[in-house]
Amino acid sequence: MIIYPAIDILGGKCVRLARGDYSKVTVYSNNPVEFVSEWISMGASWIHTVDLDGARTGNPVNDGLIREIARVSGALVQTGGGIRNIERIENLFEAGVSRVVLGTAAVQNPDMIKKAIELFNTGIAIGIDARGGYVATDGWEKRSSYKAVEFARRMVSLGVSTIIYTDVDTDGMLSGPNLSAMEKMAGSVDCNVIASGGISCLDDISALRETGVSGAITGRAIYEGKLDLSKALEVAGGDTCLQKE
């Protein structure tokens, strides 16, 4: 299982939201890049970034900072947040990003998803952010009519190979991941499922590995010293699992 340490960017700062609430923001750094070298030295092979401004507005806000993270990290970078068209996807790949995560666009414009998969194949992931089992959009502020698992199956039918599944109700709460939801998702689709939301300790990493997910995203637990990233990487298997192609 691959561990993805997360940098969520709001106003150029590294933050975490509590349950996706933009009014409940904790700032961890005014310089998000400062974390990257430390994580790489611990053995991380991927960095997960989210442009929260972009997710909310649909416009690229922090692409310059994401470009800098991709340039200095020496790791693989996956990023999402407000990516709504092919041109921006191309720009992010040119900036050095290895995987682009599409969320709201997947709900609103499935034809674009099909085109993106045709052009970039495994470089595209779908972010499914769920509230109460339904897909949330627009920076988690709106709820669609799609049930998360049904929507995931629809995306896989289009050729998607990676899904990032966030349980919004646990995200940023350090309350433990929604293991039953993650296990259900991993067992329902024939693709890589990356779990996000609620990780607080090494036991959560072990429990997630048993659900069948191929990766886990964690942020707040690392920032607050509740999760030792180097030990998390060991428990996860040192990023050595084989993902589905």
Cβ neighbours of 113 (radius 10 Å) = 21
- Give the bridge partners for 163, in sequence order: 126, 193
> Do the Cβ atoms of 105 and 113 come closer than 8 Å?
yes
Half-sphere exposure of 133 (CA within 13 A, CB side): 6
69: CB partners within 8 A, 6+ apart: 7, 32, 33, 36, 47, 49, 77
φ/ψ bin of 74: left (φ > 0), alpha (ψ from -120 to 50), beta (otherwise): left
Q: Residues 15, 21, 25, 26: is their CA dihedral positive or negative?
A: negative
**Cβ density class 51-77: b for 16+ within 10 Å, e for less:** bbbbbbebebbbbebbbbbbeebebbb
Q: Which of 51, 53, 63, 129 is catalytic?
A: 129
> Do the Cβ atoms of 155 and 106 come closer than 8 Å?
yes
H-run or E-run covering 21: strand 21-29
Q: Which of 8, 51, 53, 167 is catalytic?
A: 8
Distance CA 135, CA 49 (A): 20
The question of whether 129 is a catalytic residue gets the answer yes
H-run or E-run covering 174: none
The question of whether 228 is a catalytic residue gets the answer no
Catalytically annotated residues: 8, 129
